[in-house]
């Protein structure tokens, strides 16, 4: 890594790659986040009903998702909007895990709720609005559960790294970063998907980075394109909102994919995933060999041409 990145992010040295640490792999159940496998986390914005959650869990699992998302405690823009089922929602998530075998990621919004949410969730999500809530982040870190840290909507990469550093400082190495779009002067979409941040984080940090194309776009039509861009930028996985009937969703329906939409998104990222797997560091030797044989073949062609 170039020396000036160390200067620029000198406050958060443990978030940066070092000679000893090139890539963190977060282990959840039998999964590795930040490893060779691209991990898709999918599910509804909010846990609404047993039927909604189970139908979604079964569908996304069959389509290739490895982790089920769903909010039981919901941070909402309006205080009058649905705030989540709380403990009832956590119980529905636990039931869905039991039935589907999927790991669970769900948001924790307050310090007092950490022990309860940690009892039910495999990964604790720190939402965009909480990214700078240091007392919440410390409590979540100390629960020992892996943390999915979403970038604040007005946070810089340095701000995101400061919150990640705090989790590491509290003895929890299992941090997954998440780019979910930021606020800029552009208002055509809900947020501006900062794809360069994904490429930058991949280059300078050892922490896994996943992309949330749903909150970044705010419109379901754009979600597959942003998902493909995320793969190409080097993301380690996706966090995607899926609902059996998005028109009737209690939150974020306009950006949620229905089941057919999720299937077609998964199909459309397939060629990008194939390319990604060829570029994995574990394929380094294979690539070198191919480059060599390509060069040799070209040299042979040149020799033939010149006689």
**202-222 burial, b for 16+ CB within 10 Å, e for fewer?**
bebbbbbbbbbbbbbbbebeb
Question: CB-wise, 127 or 146, nearer to ligand PEP?
Answer: 127
| Alpha carbon 276 to chain centroid, angstroms | 16
Residue 150 near ligand PEP by CB under 6 A: yes
Q: Which does 75 bind (CB under 5 to 8 A by kind): ligand PEP, Mn ion, none?
A: ligand PEP
Q: Which residue in the set 31, 33, 41, 45 belongs to the binding site for Mn ion (CB under 5 A)?
A: 45
Question: CB-wise, 16 or 230, nearer to ligand PEP?
Answer: 230
Q: Which residue in the set 75, 86, 173, 234 belongs to the binding site for ligand PEP (CB under 6 A)?
A: 75
Residue 45 near ligand PEP by CB under 6 A: yes
Question: CB-wise, 45 or 207, nearer to ligand PEP?
Answer: 45
Question: CB-wise, 16 or 177, nearer to ligand PEP?
Answer: 177
By beta-carbon distance, which residue lies closest to Mn ion?
45
Q: Burial level of 145, CB count in 10 A (0-12/13-18/19+)? A: buried
Residue 213 near ligand PEP by CB under 6 A: no
Residue 253 near ligand PEP by CB under 6 A: no
Residue 218 near ligand PEP by CB under 6 A: no
Residue 71 near ligand PEP by CB under 6 A: yes
Residue 180 near ligand PEP by CB under 6 A: yes
Q: Which residues bind ligand PEP (CB under 6 A)?
A: 45, 71, 75, 127-129, 150, 180, 215
Q: Which residues bind Mn ion (CB under 5 A)?
A: 45, 252
């Amino acid at each position: 890594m170039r020396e000036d990145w160390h200067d620029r992010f000198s406050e958060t040295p443990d978030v940066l790659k070092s000679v000893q640490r090139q890539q963190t792999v977060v282990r959840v159940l039998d999964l590795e986040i930040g490893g060779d496998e691209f991990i898709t986390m999918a599910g509804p914005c909010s846990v609404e009903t047993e039927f909604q959650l189970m139908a979604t869990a079964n569908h996304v699992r069959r389509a290739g998702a490895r982790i089920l998302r769903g909010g039981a405690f919901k941070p909402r823009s309006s205080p009058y909007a649905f705030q989540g089922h709380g403990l009832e929602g956590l119980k529905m998530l636990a039931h869905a895990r039991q039935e589907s075998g999927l790991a669970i990621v769900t948001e924790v919004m307050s310090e007092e709720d950490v022990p309860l949410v940690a009892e039910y969730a495999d990964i604790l999500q720190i939402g965009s609005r909480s990214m700078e809530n240091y007392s919440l982040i410390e409590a979540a870190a100390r629960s020992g559960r892996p943390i999915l840290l979403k970038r604040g909507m007005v946070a810089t990469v340095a701000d995101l790294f400061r919150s990640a550093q705090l989790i590491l400082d509290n003895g929890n190495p299992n941090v997954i970063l998440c780019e979910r779009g930021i606020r800029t002067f552009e208002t055509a979409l809900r947020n501006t998907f900062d794809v360069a941040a994904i490429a930058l984080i991949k280059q300078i940090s050892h922490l896994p980075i996943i992309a949330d194309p749903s909150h970044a776009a705010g419109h379901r039509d754009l979600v597959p394109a942003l998902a493909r861009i995320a793969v190409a930028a080097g993301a380690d996985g996706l966090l995607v909102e899926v609902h059996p009937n998005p028109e009737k969703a209690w939150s974020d329906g306009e950006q949620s994919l229905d089941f057919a939409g999720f299937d077609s998104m998964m199909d459309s990222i397939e060629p990008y995933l194939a390319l990604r797997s060829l570029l994995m560091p574990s394929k380094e030797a294979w690539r070198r060999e191919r480059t060599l044989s390509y060069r040799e073949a070209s040299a042979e062609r040149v020799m033939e041409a010149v006689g």
